[in-house]
């Protein structure tokens, strides 16, 4: 199967719903790909989900390159999008292009995601000019947590919603191939989706988007038991399954039921007899 490309995702507007999930390493990328993901996002949510930080502000380009490279080593069929972390696109267009290029060259990503609307148009345009496809991200942009005063739904008021629609149009005109809408009222997401010619991919933005994305660990129930937003649906409880599996392993270790003869390497009888004789003769010579 050939790899999914950014232009193919762009052309999916109004066609089949786009299936996107995060992954942060080799095994989760393999799992996402086997399940048929169209897009794997190496999200800066790696900060919270995998590295245990309170927010996404703690990861830099080095961390994102490290995790993106682990994902692309799985050689997924899905399009791999590397997330540009906080401060990797806030200094200058030159600095932004250099950081985006690291996600592509060292990480192996085929596209990058950048949070923000018209305010980020100069850096988004610079990355597009460097021939790197860009996915936009509007609404509840976690890198703005301190400015938003928490993780709050965005675009509830007319003015904010109108600004978001204008941002989406500007990003589309600039040339992004898709836009993530996070933490947005469903009616606003529907209007954005109708107003732009690129696919919208929702997370906490209702059913009217052109696709949906969730954090892999939320879908699998693999989180550390922290607060789970209302838009998350968990399809498994792998954390409980994992605890159960480990408890059974430890019980078998305690009882001696693990390892069995089948799980053990054996020396041929003949060699063992020779070894025993050798050890015994050396021991009696020492006495």
- Please report, as ranges, the residues that interact with ligand KIV according to CB under 6 A: 22, 41, 43-45, 83, 180, 182, 203, 213, 215
Least distance between ligand KIV and beta carbon 238 (Å): 18
Least distance between ligand KIV and beta carbon 29 (Å): 14
Whole-angstrom Cα distance, residue 271 to residue 193? 73
Q: Quick one: 110 or 258, whose CB is closer to ligand KIV?
A: 110
Reduce the DSSP state of residue 188 to 3 states and report it.
helix
Least distance between ligand KIV and beta carbon 59 (Å): 10
Q: Quick one: 43 or 133, whose CB is closer to ligand KIV?
A: 43
Q: Which residues contact 96 (CB under 8 A, 6 or more apart)?
A: 84, 88, 89, 123, 126, 127
Q: Which parts of the chain fold into alpha helices (H)?
A: 6-10, 26-34, 46-49, 61-72, 93-105, 121-129, 145-148, 158-174, 186-195, 216-220, 238-255, 269-286
Residue nearest to ligand KIV (CB): 43
Least distance between ligand KIV and beta carbon 179 (Å): 11
Least distance between ligand KIV and beta carbon 268 (Å): 54
Query: Could you tell me which of 214, 153, 210 has the C-alpha nearest to residue 184?
Result: 153
Q: Quick one: 155 or 285, whose CB is closer to ligand KIV?
A: 155
**Is the CB of residue 18 less than 8 Å from the CB of residue 210?**
yes
Least distance between ligand KIV and beta carbon 24 (Å): 9
Q: Quick one: 196 or 205, whose CB is closer to ligand KIV?
A: 205
**Is the CB of residue 181 less than 8 Å from the CB of residue 201?**
yes
Q: Quick one: 210 or 266, whose CB is closer to ligand KIV?
A: 210
Catalytic residue IDs: 182
Phi/psi of residue 61, each to 5°? -65, -35
Whole-angstrom Cα distance, residue 202 to residue 231? 10
Q: Quick one: 45 or 190, whose CB is closer to ligand KIV?
A: 45
Whole-angstrom Cα distance, residue 71 to residue 27? 8
**Is the CB of residue 191 less than 8 Å from the CB of residue 209?**
no
Going 249 to 254 to 255 to 257, the CA torsion angle's sign is positive
């Amino acid at each position: 199967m050939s790899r999914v490309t950014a232009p193919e995702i762009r052309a999916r507007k109004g066609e089949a719903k786009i299936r996107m999930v995060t992954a942060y390493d080799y095994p989760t990328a393999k799992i996402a790909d086997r399940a048929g993901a169209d897009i794997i996002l190496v999200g800066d949510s790696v900060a919270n989900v995998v590295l245990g930080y309170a927010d996404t502000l703690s990861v830099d380009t080095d961390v994102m390159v490290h995790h993106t490279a682990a994902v692309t080593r799985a050689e997924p069929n899905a399009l791999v999008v590397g997330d540009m972390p906080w401060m990797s696109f806030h200094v200058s267009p030159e600095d932004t292009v250099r950081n985006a290029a690291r996600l592509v060259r060292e990480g192996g990503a085929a596209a990058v995601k950048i949070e923000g609307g018209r305010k980020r148009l100069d850096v988004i345009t610079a990355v597009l000019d460097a021939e790197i496809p860009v996915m936009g991200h509007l609404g509840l942009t976690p890198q703005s947590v301190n400015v938003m005063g928490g993780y709050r739904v965005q675009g509830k008021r007319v003015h904010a919603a109108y600004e978001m629609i204008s941002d989406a149009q500007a990003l589309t005109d600039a040339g992004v191939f898709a836009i993530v809408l996070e933490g947005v009222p469903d009616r606003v997401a529907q209007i954005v989706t109708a107003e732009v010619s690129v696919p919208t991919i929702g997370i906490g933005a209702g059913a009217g988007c052109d696709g949906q994305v969730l954090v892999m660990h939320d879908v699998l129930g693999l989180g550390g038991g922290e607060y789970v937003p209302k838009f998350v649906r968990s399809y498994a409880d792998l954390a409980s399954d994992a605890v159960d599996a480990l408890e059974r392993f430890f019980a078998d270790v305690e009882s001696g039921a693990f390892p069995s003869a089948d799980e053990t390497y054996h020396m041929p009888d003949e060699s063992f007899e020779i070894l025993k004789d050798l050890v015994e003769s050396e021991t009696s010579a020492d006495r």
